Structure 1
Amino acid sequence: MEESDYRQNITIQYCFPDHNASCRKEVKEGPGYMFLCFVLSCISVCTVFLNLLVIISISHLRQLHTPTNLLILSLSVADFFVGLLVMPVNIMQLMDSCWYLGTIACIIISIISFVSMLGSLCSLILIAVDRYIAITDPLLYSTRITVHKTVLAIILGWCSYLCYLIIFLYFNDYFFQSQLSTRCYGECVLVVKYTWVIIDLVISFLAPCSITLILYSVIFKVARHQAKAIRAVKSDASNKHGVKRIGSSEIKAAKKLGTVIFVYLACYIPYYLSSMSVNNLASSSMVWTVFGWLININSSVNPLIYAIFYSWFRASAKYILTCRIFEFSTSRLNTFPDHLN
């Protein structure tokens, strides 16, 4: 018995062998585990690459400088940082249970993760409002929603959530580093007070998602009425053309962006529901890891939705990948025949 205990102690590894309070190191080996890390690494690279295509396309091509596309650009920026910073750190923690980057880096990475999540949420809310106005008041949409107003709304939205994040971190004592897990040295686990779990659930999920779902329910209700109007004016060719121009294209755009909204909800609902039963926002449990990666993968899915539904993204991606974007006056290239497609 003593010999077996001795052998067991020999196999124990520590994150920091020279530190008396070091965490135990989990040795994770095997082809299945290595394959998982490889797949997640590919997802990270694809997330960065695809969102970078969206960012370059909308930023460079003047034809894509529309209010709706600027909101998509805001969403892609948030998703880009998820793939560039959040995913690699999560993969690193999967490969090695130890945290070697120190306390400050643990807080910074957590803040970046929160900012990316809140930035995505802010963009999705603004997208829902944009589509709501486009459907319910299409004739005045171009005057009510302009590029400058959209840029201002994006800045105010991000700043509002950034202020909320600062308050959230302050009242959870992150700035004083007292809420970091101190069970052992070499662990990155941020503890959140249960009161703030409830507050964050309401502010970051229930309230904005409820608003978004209400707006889209109105959008699709109006869309059905517009579809009936299109069928009702078949006898008047000119009137039919006018209604179709106003209604059909906007309905089409609303359905495409609605897909982004509902994919977002499907990825985030498990995370927020599970947050009600735990006291920290970073856990080593397998269930929590899966829910966390489900949120990360949402950042990979969004540009794939653009590639499937948007002809302008496919056309602009072709220009970028073939290096035609470096040609003279490519910023004025026509990426799609239909301005709202």
Structure 2
Amino acid sequence: MNITEHQQNITVQYCFPDNNSSCIKEVQGGPAYMLLFIILSCISVCTVFLNLLVIISISHFKQLHTPTNLLILSLAVADFLVGLFVMPVKIMELADSCWYLGEFWCYISPIINFLSITASLCSLIIIAVDRYIAVSDPLLYSTRITVCKMSVLITLSWSFSLFYNIIYLYFNGYFFQFQIRCYGECVLYVRHFWVTIDLVIFFIIPCSIILVLYFIIFKVARRQAKAVRAVTNGLSQNQGDKVSSSSETKAAKTLGIVIFVYLASWIPIYLSSMADENVTSVSLMYTVFAWLMYMNSSMNPLIYAIFYPWFRETTKYIVSCRIFESSSSMINLFSERL
């Protein structure tokens, strides 16, 4: 009996040994887990760094202060929060089953998590509407969509995201029924009813709107491309319109890729949420699909880097610290070759 107790003292560890109600610590070790932690940590760092480049680029360079780029900035801020706050916490939870950040941060963590995710979706919806107006009515776009109007719209979208997530957590008993089985645990329990509501409000309806708008955008863009080729036929006076139309079409295609990547990242976690009546944030399936969703925040800056020449140009200025030079914010980023 004494030998058995001695073996238990060696193998069993607690999150807080001085607390009688402490949770049992489950440490994930071994070379495979170490490699996984290193990979996920690198993804987190890259997500923060790449989205910070987007934020600095659009904020610093005056030429990028356009309504569409403000939406990209909003999306980058949401992705930046994912890389800075959400990913490190999830890595900590994978490495050790204990929650060391205290009860306050256990309350705040889901709010930051859900806020960044829902704000991303709101930004993508507004981006789809913005591209639809730009492609379908390009002559009136500059008068209908201004920087001031877009700033107000982005502020409203973030406010709505915050309000919805507080209501979501409140009605799942997160604030007044802190459900923990032992000290050192932080688990979010979501009722199946609210999973269904969230599926409709923040997946089915937004995704339907986005897909319908982009279907219309591509039809209009293709029709305009044919019209431009038929009318211009090499006439120099219409080259500006041709370039403008080509630019709008390219922007629509680029942001369409962003939408596709986003949907591919979101569909698995919603399907898994609907499969289980009681969804918890510590289940293996939820963890895998959640990380697939989080890594979407790393993909968007890479898409910009591939398709947007201005992002590559601003990155050179930022990395070389040339943005600290006087009048660097007034640099012309759109040369003939861009």
Distance verdict in 2 for CA 1:85–1:124, change over 3 Å: same
Normalised by the size of structure 2, how large is the TM-score? 0.94
Counting only pairs closer than 5 Å after superposition, residues 178-193 of structure 1 correspond to structure 2 as 178=177, 180-193=178-191
Question: Deviation per CA, 1:152-173, whole angstroms, max 9, x where unpaired?
Answer: 1101111122221222122222
Greater shift, 163-172 or 127-136, is seen at: 163-172
* 8 A contact 2:57–2:315 mirrored in 1: yes
Moved more, 17-26 or 291-300: 17-26
Aligned length: 338
The aligned counterpart of 1:112 is 112
SS in 2 for 1:224: helix
Partner of 2:260: 262
Give, as a single letter, the amino acid of the residue that structure 1 aligns with 2:304: Y
The structural deviation recorded for 1:234 is 4.4
Alignment of structure 1 residues 118-137 onto 2, 5 Å: 118-137=118-137
CA shift in 2, pair 1:338/1:138, >3 Å: farther
Residue in structure 2 matched with residue 52 of structure 1 by the alignment: 52
Matches within 5 A, 1:322-341: 322-337=320-335
Summarize the Cα distance change of 1:56–1:242 in structure 2 as closer, same or farther, 3 Å threshold.
closer
1:81 aligns with 2:81: yes
Pair 1:304–1:282, CA change in 2 (3 A): farther
Q: Which digits, 9 at most, give the CA deviation of each residue in 1:151-199, with x for residues without a partner?
A: 01101111122221222122222221x1x43222221111122211111
Task: Give how far 1:336 is off.
Answer: 2.1
Closer, same or farther: CA 338–87 of 1 in aligned 2, 3 Å: farther
Amino acid at match of 1:225: R
Identity of aligned residues (%): 65
Answering whether residue 134 of structure 2 is matched by residue 139 of structure 1, we say no
- The equivalent of 1:241 in structure 2 is 239
State the shift of 1:102 in Å: 2.0
State the secondary structure of the residue aligned to 2:158: helix
- Tell me what 1:297 maps to: 295
* CA shift digits 1:178-223 (9 cap, x unpaired): 1x43222221111122211111111111111110111001001111
Other structure's SS at 2:183 match: coil
Q: 5+ residue gaps in structure 2?
A: none
Structure-2 separation of matches of 1:70 and 1:79 = 14
1:307, 1:314 within 8 Å by CA — same for their partners in 2?
Answer: yes
For the residues of structure 2 that align with 1:45 and 1:114, how far apart are their CA atoms?
Answer: 20
Q: Using the alignment, how far apart are the partners of 2:214 and 2:325 within structure 1? A: 41
Aligned-partner residue type, residue 265 of structure 1: L
Q: Normalised by the size of structure 1, how large is the TM-score?
A: 0.93
What is the RMSD of the two structures over their aligned residues, measured on CA atoms? 2.1
Cα offset, 1:64, TM superposition: 0.3
- For residues 279 and 108 of structure 1, do their structure 2 counterparts lie closer, same or farther at Cα, with a shift above 3 Å needed? farther
Match of 2:229 among 228, 231, 238: 231
How far residue 8 of structure 1 moved from its aligned partner, in angstroms, is: 5.2
2-structure distance, mates of 1:282, 1:80: 25
Q: CA deviation at 1:7?
A: 3.2
CA distance in 1, matches of 2:299, 2:150: 24
Distance 1:222 1:2, change over 3 A: farther
Unpaired segments of 5 or more residues in structure 1? Answer: none
Structure 2 vs 1, CA of residues 278 and 265 (structure 1 numbering), >3 Å: closer, same or farther?
same
Q: Which moved more, 1:5-14 or 1:204-213?
A: 5-14
Distance (whole Å) between structure 1 residues aligned to residue 42 and residue 83 of structure 2: 10
Cα distance change, pair 280–123 in 1 and its aligned pair in 2 (3 A): farther
Report the alpha carbon displacement of residue 6 of structure 1 after superposing the two structures with TM: 6.5
Please state whether the residue corresponding to 1:334 is helix, strand or coil: coil
Which deviates more, 189-198 or 214-223?
Answer: 189-198
> Distance between the aligned counterparts of 2:280 and 2:144, measured in 1?
42
